[in-house]
Amino acid sequence: MKKIEKIYIAGHRGLVGSAIIKNLKSKGYFNFVTRTHKELDLTNQQEVVDFFADEKPDYVILAAAKVGGIVANNTYRGEFIYENLMIQNNVIHQSYVHGVKKLLFLGSTCIYPKNSPQPMKEEYLLTSELEYTNEPYAIAKIAGIKMCESYNIQYNTNFISVQPTNLYGPNDNFDLEKSHVLPALIRKMHLGKALENNDWKTLRADLDKLLIEGVDGNATENEIIIKLNKYGISKLETSNQKPVTRIEVWGSGKPMREFLWSEDMADACVHLMENVDFKDILNNIYNIEAPEKSRSENCKTSLNESQKPKAKSQELKNTHINIGTGKEISIKELAETIKLVVGFKGELYFNSEKPDGTMRKLTDSSKLETLGWKYSVELKEGIEKMYEWYNS
């Protein structure tokens, strides 16, 4: 990419998009196109058609998506599959229509089967059933991967799909109903610490920054306590009459998860945008030379007969790239680490009546390492940085 070329970043305010744009700026890129959801509804086909016709970006990074944790995914199943499919279809297709030089589509490792072999390699996609609680979201993301892959094969586009593991970092979502496990636990521990210290100034300041179901810092103490109790943050009387603050964690605590600092993820994405094309992935996986076509021919070309796979074992699929650390931690150990970082002194209660989700989700990122990139921020360091950001 040239520094002067126009880069459209869809979802620039979110955890993923904000980290990517920060990384690009640090490398000297400056010609960005961004739109808020109010300015451009990516689920609206005509709005996306008009946007691409007006702006004509050279590069596209598709980080916009409807995301959430187990509760949100399982509760808003229709919204998750519809909105994500519409966003992807509109942006990817218009990138093809307008001859975008390269598109980067961000998915998630929840695309892999519920009982996938570990660590999860790209080739394990669609080998068995998905985890039910996030099935609609996963199916939408799989469709996005296959759309990029199919357009590359038929039209010779340069669309790359990446599947980051669980991300965390600045601009994360701390909504207790809709957030992922790590930011949710950070906020729960923060509120729990304030509750155990009777620090109502901190409690009210937190609620003023981010309401909990309409309850802000102006609510009465009783209203705040009721709302905290609903989300598993409670102060209990013990047998010796000494109150103890308890944080509920969904599930048994046994599931293993992998976490990646969002700014590491951004660095991986920019590395791929600068250094890796779809033809490089073909060479890396299949030892197939992709055809060289001019940009004006992109909308009309496909692999010629000599370049098409000769046998089923050479079918062009699973050309997406995992982004991860290759390290995992149990939810129990994660909660204990966050408790230590935040300084919460109370109890952790693992509610095994709540769903665990997939028991393991460890990625194999060897393909990305072969393409020249590896993570740098370890988990405890990242949690410390994230809590510092949350308190800033």
Q: Is the residue at 382 inside a domain?
A: no
Query: Could you say which of 8, 96, 112, 137 is catalytic?
Result: 137
In a domain, 290, yes or no: yes
Taking residue 263's Cβ as centre, other Cβ atoms within 10 Å add up to 21
133 and 227 assigned to the same domain: no
Asked, for residue 383, whether it belongs to a domain, the answer is no
pTM score > 0.75 for this model? yes
Kindly tell me if the per-residue pLDDT of 310 is higher than 50.
Answer: no
Residue 111 lies in a domain: yes
Domain identity same for 98 and 110: yes
Q: Is 112 one of the catalytic residues?
A: no
In the chain, the N- to C-terminal Cα span, in Å, equals: 34
Residue located via tokens 């519920």: 114
Spatial strand order of the sheet with 347-351 comes to 233-236, 244-250, 347-351
Q: Which amino acid is at 288?
A: I
367 and 293 fall within a common domain = yes
Q: What is the pLDDT of residue 289?
A: 66
Q: Examine the domain organization and report whether 74 and 94 are in the same domain.
A: yes
pLDDT, tens digit, for every residue of 76-90?
A: 999 999 999 999 999
My answer on whether 120 and 133 are in the same domain is yes
Residue 195, in any domain of the structure: yes
Range of 344's domain?
181-255+331-351
The verdict on residue 385 lying in a domain is no
Asked if residue 190 and residue 144 are part of one domain, the reply reads: no
Look at residue 99 in the predicted model and tell me its pLDDT. Answer: 98
Question: Is 37 part of any domain?
Answer: yes
Mean pLDDT of 128-139: 94
Tell whether 205 and 71 lie within a shared domain: no
Q: Long-range contact list for 338-341, CB < 8 A, 24+ apart?
A: 338/182, 338/185, 338/186, 338/189, 338/383, 339/189, 339/247, 341/380, 341/383, 341/384, 341/387
CATH number, domain with residue 74: 3.40.50.720
Q: Which of 133, 77, 79, 144 is nearest to 106 (CA)?
A: 144
Q: Are residues 153 and 39 in the same domain?
A: yes
Residue 274 and residue 138 share a domain: yes
| One domain for residues 109 and 245 | no
221 and 186 in one domain?
Answer: yes
CA distance 56 to 95: 9
Q: What is the average pLDDT across 116-134?
A: 95
pLDDT digits (tens, 9 = 90+) for 157-170: 999 999 999 999 99
309 preceded by a cis bond (ω within 30 of 0): no
Question: In which band, very low, low, confident or very high, does the pLDDT at 298 lie, cut at 50, 70 and 90?
Answer: very low
* Mean pLDDT in residue range 360-371: 94
Q: Are residues 251 and 121 in the same domain?
A: no
Average pLDDT, the chain: 92
pLDDT of residue 245: 96
Asked if 390 and 186 touch (Cβ cutoff 8 Å), the reply is yes
* 3-state per-residue secondary structure call for 249-278: EECCCCCEECEEEHHHHHHHHHHHHHHCCH
Does residue 2 lie in a domain region?
A: no
**Per-residue tokens: 135:** 């099935």
pLDDT at 293: 52
Count of domains for the chain:
2
Query: What is the rounded distance in angstroms from the CA atom of residue 270 to the CA atom of residue 266?
Result: 6
